[in-house]
Amino acid sequence: MASPTSLKLDDELKGRVQHLAEVRRRSSHWIMREAIEQYVEREEKREALRSETLNAWDEFQTTGLHVTAEEVEKWLTTWGTDDERAAPECHK
């Protein structure tokens, strides 16, 4: 269920939103809601990536398992070829 929220914009940004709404034939409300939704989705993905990265680092610190950049590059060069290989195994 949607509920009203107050948002303060400076005159310059408000004008930009209004101009964009006019040329897109949308309401200013639609433009702002869409912008906020896209921002939140992008930042949620960024935070998920950050969290995954920290978890991977913790796991590496614990186990020492890894794959070298050279091994990954060698594997990637086989993508889309008749000799496509499986991902390299992690090792210490």
Coil/strand/helix, residue 19: helix
Place of tokens 């964009």: 20
pTM equals 0.75
Token pair belonging to 36: 């906020």
pLDDT, position 1: 85
Query: What is the band of 87 on the pLDDT scale with cuts at 50, 70, 90?
Result: very high
If you average pLDDT over every residue of the chain, what do you get?
97
Alpha-carbon span 35 to 3, nearest angstrom: 17
CA atoms 12, 45, 27, 3: torsion sign: negative
pLDDT tens digits, one per residue of 45-72: 999 999 999 999 999 999 999 999 999 9
Alpha-carbon span 65 to 73, nearest angstrom: 18
Q: pLDDT: is 1 or 32 the higher one?
A: 32
User: How many percent of the chain have pLDDT more than 70?
Assistant: 100
